Chains A and B, each alone.
Chain A
Amino acid sequence: GENVEQHPSTLSVQEGDSAVIKCTYSDSASNYFPWYKQELGKRPQLIIDIRSNVGEKKDQRIAVTLNKTAKHFSLHITETQPEDSAVYFCAAPRTGRRALTFGSGTRLQVQP
């Protein structure tokens, strides 16, 4: 089955700095990589995703890059703001299934 590893587990940055979270996956057949943001006490919400036929995707201050050869993908947040503080999860499809395997999460703290 799929194994997804996520680093770092915690990340503290100053407001305005950039934040990068990295994930690796094991199943070379995986073709869809979403990122979820979860605020305290709330449900996970999709913030960006990427399919395997592209190497990078941007949405305003958020970008995701994918390296299929190395089997890793990263979330980049630029010009961080205090409201970016949350737990971020990467995920990859479980082999042959629509459900997802999640990374263990990164707690991002943006210091004002």
Chain B
Amino acid sequence: NAGVTQTPKFQVLKTGQSMTLQCAQDMNHEYMSWYRQDPGMGLRLIHYSVGAGITDQGEVPNGYNVSRSTTEDFPLRLLSAAPSQTSVYFCASSYSRSDQETQYFGPGTRLLVL
């Protein structure tokens, strides 16, 4: 199993550009999430999904869209990039069973918005 994969690893954008961060998992996990990590602030939840076709907002959703058309994929879209979105983005997934809550993280995407 590849686990949780993310592409690209690194991206530079200009203010106002749009892009999609890709996330995929091959563990048949129902739950998937997107976090952003900024220095000194830990990881903050952007959006999450409890299954295909179902998404919900986290604590910092503004400026981001998600969709979940398949169990495997959970892309994150930046509609109009801003310098405040410069961050490291992590995708994570887990099972839905209450005794299998371990979240597995992807390797991250480092985004720089100029």
The residue on A at minimum CB distance from B90 is A43
Decide yes or no whether A97 CB sits under 8 A from chain B: yes
Per the bound structure, the CA–CA distance linking A99 and B46 in Å amounts to 10
Interface string of A45-66 (1 = CB under 8 A from B): 1100100000000000000000
Q: Are B42 and A102 in contact, with the CB atoms below 8 A?
A: yes
Q: Across the interface, name the chain A residue whose C-beta is closest to B29.
A: A98
Contact assessment for A34 and B43 in the assembled complex, using a CB-CB cutoff below 8 Å: no
Q: Give the Cβ gap from A63 to chain B, nearest Cβ, in Å.
A: 18
Which residues 39-63 in B have Cβ within 8 Å of A in the complex?
40-45, 48, 50, 56, 58-59
B17 at the interface (CB under 8 A from A): no
| Total count of chain A residues near the partner, CB < 8 A | 23
Could you say which of B35, B43, B59, B101 contacts A98, with CB atoms under 8 Å apart?
Answer: B101
- Contact across chains for B105 and A101 when beta carbons are under 8 A apart: no
Instruction: Answer yes or no: B75 CB below 8 A from chain A CBs.
Output: no
Residue pair B42, A97 in contact (C-beta under 8 Å): no
Residues of B contacting A103 in the complex (Cβ-Cβ under 8 angstroms): 42
Q: Given the interface contacts A94-B45, A99-B31, does A44 sit within 8 Å of B96 by beta carbon?
A: no
Report the separation of the CA atoms of residues A92 and B44 in the bound assembly, to the nearest whole angstrom. 12
Instruction: Enumerate chain B residues within 8 angstroms of A86, measured Cβ to Cβ.
Output: none
Say yes or no: B106 contacts A101, CB within 8 Å. no
A-B contact pairs, 26 of them (CB 8 A): A9-B40, A32-B101, A34-B101, A43-B90, A43-B105, A44-B43, A44-B90, A44-B105, A49-B101, A49-B102, A89-B43, A97-B48, A98-B33, A98-B48, A98-B96, A98-B101, A99-B31, A99-B33, A99-B45, A99-B58, A100-B43, A101-B59, A102-B42, A102-B43, A104-B42, A105-B42
Name 14 extra pairs, CB < 8 A, besides A1-B59, A99-B48, A104-B40: A44-B105, A49-B102, A89-B42, A93-B101, A94-B45, A94-B58, A97-B56, A98-B50, A98-B101, A99-B58, A100-B45, A101-B45, A102-B42, A105-B42
